Every structure is written in C-alpha cells, then in structure tokens.
Amino acid sequence: MQPENPHQAKLLASLRLHGPQSAAEMAAQVGLSRSKIGQELQRLEDLGFVERAGKAESRGGRRSGLVQLSGDLRFVGVDIGATSLDVGVTNGRLDLVAHVAEDIDIRSGPDVVLRRAVELIGKLRAEGHLPRIDGVGVGVPGPVSFRDGYTVSPPIMPGWDRYPVREFFLKQLDCPVLVDNDVNLMAVGEMYCGLARSVGDFLFVKIGTGIGCGIITGHRVLRGSNGSAGDIGHIAVNDGGPVCSCGRTGCLEAWFSGAALSRDVNALARGGESGVLESMLADGPLTAADVGTAMRQGDPHALGLVRDGGRRLGRVLAGLVNFFNPAMIVVGGGVATGLGHTLLAEVRSELYRRSTPLATSNLPVVLSELGENAGVVGAAALAGDHALGVDQT
Amino acid sequence: MQPENPHQAKLLASLRLHGPQSAAEMAAQVGLSRSKIGQELQRLEDLGFVERAGKAESRGGRRSGLVQLSGDLRFVGVDIGATSLDVGVTNGRLDLVAHVAEDIDIRSGPDVVLRRAVELIGKLRAEGHLPRIDGVGVGVPGPVSFRDGYTVSPPIMPGWDRYPVREFFLKQLDCPVLVDNDVNLMAVGEMYCGLARSVGDFLFVKIGTGIGCGIITGHRVLRGSNGSAGDIGHIAVNDGGPVCSCGRTGCLEAWFSGAALSRDVNALARGGESGVLESMLADGPLTAADVGTAMRQGDPHALGLVRDGGRRLGRVLAGLVNFFNPAMIVVGGGVATGLGHTLLAEVRSELYRRSTPLATSNLPVVLSELGENAGVVGAAALAGDHALGVDQT
C-alpha cells in the first residue's frame, strides 16, 4: 500500500502534519488546483488512506467537508528499552488504540526479546486490535543502520550487534518493517502528536538510564553519516569527574542520567546526611525515581542532585543550541518526567546564560506531552510515514 | 531562467553534484528512461543550461557523449568579510573565470560596502567577464534571514541590522539575488568544488577573525530556526578564561581565533621570553599570520599557542561530532590556512580522544582545498543552485 503519485504523497504529508483539513485548505497548502485535489482525494479515499470527517468552520458560505487520515489503518509500534518492552497500535491518525507493556532485560538478547515482541503483537491481534497491519516500526536503545534495519555497535545491548531486527519481523509478519533508534522515534512521536506538533526543527532529549537526543530538521530525523547522530551522552561536560561506562571521564551521562542519579542518591543515603534518604534506604537501594520523591518531600540533598544535573545538561545543550539553532527543546524519558519542572528550570537558566541571545530569543524548553507513550507512538508513526509515502530516510 | 519540470531539475542537480556524465549514467542516477533523459537533455541544451562535452570512456562498444553544465552561464559571487570584499565570476560548472578582491571595513556600513561591490561587478562587466548575469549570491559575516535577504543582529556589523541587502542588489542588477551567511556559502563551495565534493553531511569550520561553522546535511545548508545555526564561536570551552566580545568568558573564539591569537602573540612578544617573536615586534604589532610564521621558524611559544588552540577547538568539535555525526570536517578560513597541519593534528588528536569511536571511525579532518576562494565560489554556487532549480532553502 503506497500512494500512486507525488501529489497524493503531498496531500498525505499535509494531513499528517496539519491534521484534518478541507479541500480548500489543502489546495493552499500543497499548491494544486481544487479540481485536481478533489480527484486525488477521491482516489485516496478509494485506496483507504483517507476518510471524510466532520464539517469545517464555515467561512461565511457553504460548509465544506473535512478530510482526515483513515481511522481503519493499523500501525504497530514496538519500543524496546533497556528494561522494558512496549507494543502499541495506532490508526492512521496516530491515535493509540491499544498498548501493552512489560519488563524485559535487553541483555537476554535479540532472540528472546524479539520473539516476545511478536507474541505481544499476536496477543493484540487475538484481542481484535489488529484486523490488519499496515506497517511495523521498531525502536531500539542504540545506534541503528536505518537502511539495513539492524543495530550497530550498541553499547548496552550484548548480542545485538548487526542482528537483523527488520528481517526477524519480516519473517513473522506480512507488512513493511522499519527499525530506528528509540530516541529518534520519540522525536518523531513528538513531531506528530506532542508539543512539537508541526515544529520543523527541534531537539528531543531523553533522560532514562542514559541520555540521548533525537534531532528533527525540516520535519525529518537527522541520523548522521552512520546513524549515531544525537549521541550526546558522551559529550564532555568538563575534565575529570566520574568514570563513564565508555571508559572516559566527564561525560554528560556519567554526571547526570538515571544511572548516575541512582549511584549518587545511594551514596548520599548511605552517607547519612539526609534523614529522608536514609529512611528510604530501608526499603532497598534507591533509584532515580526516588530522587524525585525525596525532592518533593523537601529534601535539599535530592534537590541538589537535580539542580547540579540540570545545570550540566543545560551547559551541554547551550552549545548544541548555538550550533543547531532549534525552534524548541522537548525533554522526555522516564527520569525527566519524575523530576519535572525543577529540572527544566535549571536547564533553562543555564541555557539562557550560555547560549547566544539570537538562538534563545524564542526557544521554548518543555516537558514531553506524550510521556511514556512517545516511543510506541513514534515507532508507529515511522511505519505510517513509510505507508503514506512520507520520506523519513 | 528556471528548469521547466522536476525531471529537468533532477538532471541539473545530478550534473551539479557528480560532474559531466553520459546520458546512460544519468539514467541510473535519476531513475528515468533513456528516451525521456534524451528528450529532457535536448530541451536543457536548447534552454542553455547544458552542453555536450568530450567523450566518455567507452565500455567496450560505442562511445557516448558526455553532458555538462554550460560554460556560457555566468554567476557572480560576492563575499563580504569583516575587512575584505571579494567578487568572483563563475560559469555553470563553477569554474572561477574572474576574481577581484580589495580591503574594506565592514563598519563603514552597508551603503559604502554594497555600492563598492556593485562597482566591482561593473568593472568585471567592463572587462568582458560578464556578457550575461544569471544570478548573484552574496555572503555576509553574520546571521542572515535567508528568506528575507537581510542580516539579523550581526555582532560585528554596525548599521547592517535588517538592512535590505538583497533589495540593494536587485535594484542595480536585473537577475535573482540570494544572501546568506559567509560560512554557509564556504561550505556550499566545498560541497561542489572542494574535498567535500559530493559528501552529503559535513561541517565546514572557518577560522578567521572569529570562528564559525557551516553545516551541510543531505547536500543542503542547515540554517536553523532563525538563521543562526553554526554559531560555534560562543560555545563555552570551560569556566573562566578570557573575556569574549559577547561579554561572557570561556567562549571558544575568546580562546582561539584570529583575534585571540593576535592578542596572545603580542603579549608573548612583549613578555620577552621568545627571541623570535620579540624581533618580529620591531616591525609593528603581530597578527595571527605571524604566529604561523614564527611556528615555522621553530619558535616553541608560537607552537604552543597553536597546540592549545587546536586542542580547544578539537574539544568543542568532539561534542558536535557526537551530536551531528558528520562524514567529514573541513577546516578553512585565513587563519587556519596559515597554521596548516600542526593545527589539524591537534584538532584530530582531541577529537579522537573525546568523541565516540562510532562517530569517528571514518571521519576525515582536512584543510579546505578552495582556500580563499571558498567564499566567492560558494556565493556563486548558491546563485547557481537557484537558477538550476536546486533547492537550498
């Protein structure tokens, strides 16, 4: 299933970015005549890409029908994290119609993890959520060769290097399959369904166990010359500092990430200076989420960790803002959600202090609106882009 | 003068990136049938875009004619620097057929500088280098609103803020005019005519009075959300350090740039520790070029300045390489040319030490091949892209 000509692809891309529209609005958007638009839209309706929706606001005359992407299309998003596996189903408009999630360990290897992903897709199908599958998008937590559909030297994924992820799904499912880095997909999700909706150039910063960045320019993912663009976790904040998993010192994610917060908060709790943290330790080792909990209980040590971390993240982002001049920064991932606006305030402060005024004159820094759904929605969106002929190569 | 349809634009773009080709090679490049190609090429020849060149290498049968961009087209590149004004003329293949340069002071304001640029174009026309003008590209040393054709808050250009540069040329010359940041244009020049020829994703780092960066992704300039992308001179290397022209401390160009080198080498010379530098001071204050001269004479103090500077530049580039994952880094600008491979060695060393192995596994760091012509060639290339229907917006 693919659009038949460039006009159809243009119309679908416009519906994708701007939502339901009247034929008149689309004519203005894509620069085609009304009669040509009508003809191509009818064809797209016959092919099952689009459907008629409600009525547009009248502009003082006849009311014209809105066109939207079809609610019958079904795209599957598979979001593979270091410790979690999410499978979601969307329609053509990227409404999430079903979602299952469970804990996994990425280190159990691709055979185990991917087989489980296919089982979950089968489960969703058995429950009636997948009368059809128009495409599958898969996100993995490491660098990906997008063209080849496999991971390349992923640091936290033993056994996954050059494993043919796309082939695995293709053998099990009769539909197009696309594989990308998880953070790139979260960025795509935000571009279509989050606060960055229809923003052409922005950064999506994911703070989870590590730190990564999805880069969108001209409404497309920037993947770099070998798929590792956005790997900001190992940018040096300064000389010295904690030893990173990569063997160097001073990397951003050695200073600030889920793993770093967990290391630091346990050290603080064991040090005994904070009564709040010490008492939390009674239930076992603390996690990055506990830092947020303690901070909200007013613990200054936990607050200090968040402020120091936000300042270091802001410092790295300040350089990237000068370089890339984005229109927005969206911060997401499990750890960021738990730390919320305290984290953002510190990031913003450092960003405005260190970036050039022109680059920050109109730069919102916001928390992800999609939250934990960004990955599956983005993965489904990637599959949808392929089906609708929107180029994301 | 514009191509008549997308097929023609594709053929022109392919000739632009890959040079003279046979119809068979182009058929493979752009995915059109031989007969369609033949038809469109004939039309492009009639329109004056292309011409027949020599014969291609025979592949064991008939010899087929090569097609190339026309040698009769004329594009003007105007490269406005802080202290220099260059005007060059190229043909359709971007061969530089004429070039004049003179000293100016950008602070004398747009009326004076632009009038002089138009006079130089008139001089080249009087000398017979411009039987026609198919487009003018203008580079200025500050952020540009590409769409509007004017500079935006340029820090070193008093009187130029929102001055209608494009309108000025349009009033004097009857052809399309495009205005861009000078470093962006140097990057375009390298993409078409330098070592980055046909490299889709690379960085061009210019070291002149200040430091800037041109970003090419997918063979196009990345300008950012308000035209300030690539402004790497104010990325902080560390806390503290010399005060920058922007009022902050620790900025890359406060540590290392033509201005910083000139400041530091004069301080060293006056300090009296280096006999070489002290004797050079007899002829007046030293410049960044003198650092290179002293270094080549074996002065360890001058060498130290270059090594320290290269290390700091490498440190900033290491972060950008992790973020952007370019396929090449080209270093140019007057100061870089004078410091040559000593500078590059230090940059490379720091880059390989601080970037992730995946991002640097296959990353050449090279000196600009175009040297001082990069700016005019790039400016003419931008005008050429417009005339040939190659999208650089």
pLDDT tens-place string over residues B89-136: 999 999 999 999 999 999 999 999 999 999 999 999 999 999 999 999
pLDDT band of B31, cuts 50, 70, 90:
confident
**Nearest Cβ partner for A359 among B228, B318, B319:** B228
Judged on CB neighbours under 10 Å (0-12, 13-18, 19+), B147 is exposed
Q: Flag if B217 and A217 touch (Cβ within 8 Å).
A: yes
Whole-angstrom distance, CA of residue A376 vs CA of residue A177:
14
Q: Which amino acid is at B148?
A: D
DSSP B73-101: --EEEEEE-SSEEEEEEE-TT--EEEEEE
Mean pLDDT of B256-270: 96
**Statement: residue A254 has pLDDT above 90:** yes
Burial B299-320 (b: 16+ CB within 10 A, else e): bebbbebbbebbbbbbbbbbbb
Q: Which residues contact A80 (CB under 8 A, 6 or more apart)?
A: A104, A106, A113, A117, A138, A139, A140, A141, A182
> All domains of chain A, ordered by start, with CATH?
6-69 (1.10.10.10), 75-194+373-388 (3.30.420.40), 202-369 (3.30.420.40)
A60-73: average pLDDT: 78
Structure tokens given for B296? 């080549």
Mean pLDDT of A264-280: 93
What is the pLDDT at residue B60?
A: 52
A201/B224 CB distance under 8 A = yes
* Across A193-197, average pLDDT: 93
Taking contacts as CB-CB distances below 8 angstroms, the residues of chain B near A231 are 322-323, 325, 356, 358-359
Contact list, A327 vs chain B (CB under 8 Å): 225
* Contact list, A225 vs chain B (CB under 8 Å): 200-201, 325-327, 362
Which residue stretches of A107-236 are H helix?
110-126, 165-172, 182-193
Q: For A321, which residue in chain B has the nearest alpha carbon?
A: B229
Give the burial class of B57: count Cβ atoms within 10 A of its Cβ; 0-12 exposed, 13-18 middle, 19 or more buried: exposed
Mean pLDDT of chain A: 92
Identify the residue with better confidence: A317 or B227.
A317
The pLDDT of B258-263, averaged and rounded, is: 96
Neighbours of A338 (CB within 10 A): 21
* Residue whose C-alpha is closest to residue A206's, from A227, A236, A181, A224: A181
Asked if residue A244 has pLDDT above 80, the reply is yes
Residue-wise pLDDT for A362-390, tens only, equals 899 999 999 999 999 999 999 999 999 88
**Tokens coding A358:** 């022109």
- Whole-number Å distance between alpha carbons of A305 and A303: 5
Residue of chain B with shortest Cα separation from A361: B226
Residues of A in contact with B231 (CB under 8 A): 322-323, 325, 356, 358-359
CA distance A343 to chain B (A): 21
% of chain B with per-residue pLDDT over 90? 77
Question: At residue A24, does pLDDT exceed 50?
Answer: yes
B→A contacts (Cβ < 8 Å), by residue, are 143, 152-153, 200-201, 213, 215, 217, 222-232, 234-236, 238-239, 246, 248, 315-316, 318-320, 322-327, 354-359, 361-362
Helices (H) and strands (E) in chain A, counts: 14, 15
pLDDT tens, position by position, B272-297: 889 999 999 999 999 999 999 999 99
Question: B72: how many CB neighbours lie within 10 A of its CB?
Answer: 13
Model pLDDT for residues B60-85, shown as the tens digit of each residue = 544 468 999 999 999 999 999 988 99
SS3 of residue A98 by DSSP:
strand
Q: B21, B389, B17, B20: which is closest to B198 by C-alpha?
A: B17
d(CA A330, CA A378): 14
**CB spacing of A235 vs B358 below 8 angstroms:** no
Q: Which residues contact A373 (CB under 8 A, 6 or more apart)?
A: A88, A96, A99, A189
Residue of A nearest to B315 (CA): A236
Q: What is the pLDDT of residue A62?
A: 47
B54 pLDDT tier (thresholds 50, 70, 90) = low
**What pLDDT shows up at residue A344?**
97
Own/partner contacts of A23-30, CB < 8 Å, gap of 24 or more, are A23/A64, A23/A65, A23/A67, A24/A64, A25/A56, A26/A67
Interval A90-113 mean pLDDT: 96
To the nearest whole angstrom, how far is the Cα of B21 from the nearest Cα of chain A?
Answer: 26
H/E stretch holding A32: none
Q: CA nearest B232 in A: which residue?
A: A323
Q: Six-digit token pair at A88?
A: 């979601």
What confidence tens digit (pLDDT) does each residue in A324-352 have? Answer: 999 999 999 989 989 999 999 999 999 99
Average of per-residue pLDDT across A25-31: 83
> What is the maximum span of chain B, computed from C-alpha positions, in angstroms?
75
pLDDT, tens digit (0-9, with 9 covering 90-100), for A45-60:
999 999 998 654 545 5
Look at B323 and A323 and tell me if their CB atoms are within 8 Å.
yes
